[in-house]
Amino acid sequence: MKKIKTSKNSETIMTEIVCPNDTNPMGILQGGRLVQWMDIASAICSQNHAEHICVTASIDSVKFKTPAKVGDIITIKAKVTRSFNSSMEIFVQAWAKKILSQKAYLINEAYFTFVALDDNAKPAFVPAIKPSSEAEKKEYLNALKRKNSRLKNN
Ligand SMILES: CC(C)(COP(=O)(O)OP(=O)(O)OC[C@H]1O[C@@H](n2cnc3c(N)ncnc32)[C@H](O)[C@@H]1OP(=O)(O)O)[C@@H](O)C(=O)NCCC(=O)NCCS
């Protein structure tokens, strides 16, 4: 029987500080660096859920909402919305916090799809997700529509 887990089991929170080497000449965090951090957070999340090595299959709905600046503290949260056979959809959000004001604001959100691999690098079955809250149930239902639409656009 397929193992069932909640998204709380693998929810991942990662923090970074924006250093000069992460920014453009205006001191704004580079988009690619932020997506790299989000990819790492979602890799940790998917691997803890799957209990397998996982690879990024796709990244979609990436929204850069507000710039982060040098010195800001970045917090990234990654959570599995739903798993299928070997793939998992991970919702990732990132916030930037100003040290002096301690104010945090949402800077990015995106959906990552990770695929679990077995020892022969072939897709491996992953545990199912049991959504708990109303918000999780909504994300769970919509995850199937998003999966179908991203595969159609491949
Ligand atoms: C992702 C990958 C493993 C899929 O392998 P594949 O042989 O095409 O596997 P399948 O067609 O059997 O699909 C396996 C799963 O991946 C999903 N998938 C495949 N391509 C996808 C895509 N572009 N976007 C989202 N999901 C995708 C399928 O829907 C399927 O999910 P399911 O098992 O839950 O139904 C393969 O394409 C790959 O290795 N890509 C490169 C990954 C990589 O290098 N990432 C960056 C470094 S981590």
Residue listed under structure tokens 């453009």: 24
Nearest CA to ligand 1 atom 26: 57
pLDDT tens digits, 59-78: 999 999 999 999 999 999 99
69 contacts 29 by C-beta, under 8 angstroms: yes
Calculate how far, in angstroms, residue 26's C-alpha sits from the geometric centre of ligand 1. 37
Residue 58 Cα: closest atom of ligand 1? 24
- State the burial class of residue 10 (Cβ atoms within 10 Å of its Cβ: 0-12, 13-18, 19+): buried
Residue 153 has pLDDT above 90, yes or no: no
- Cβ(42) to ligand 1 under 6 A? no
Calculate how far, in angstroms, residue 108's C-alpha sits from the geometric centre of ligand 1. 24
The pLDDT confidence band at residue 22, using thresholds 50, 70 and 90, is: very high
The rounded distance, in Å, linking the Cα atoms of 17 and 71 is 6
pLDDT tens digits, 28-46: 999 999 999 999 999 999 9
pLDDT tens digits, 86-138: 999 999 999 999 999 999 999 999 999 999 999 999 999 999 999 999 999 99
Domains in the chain, CATH or no CATH each: 4-152 (3.10.129.10)
pLDDT in the model for residue 78: 98
Record the pTM.
Answer: 0.97
The pLDDT confidence band at residue 47, using thresholds 50, 70 and 90, is: very high
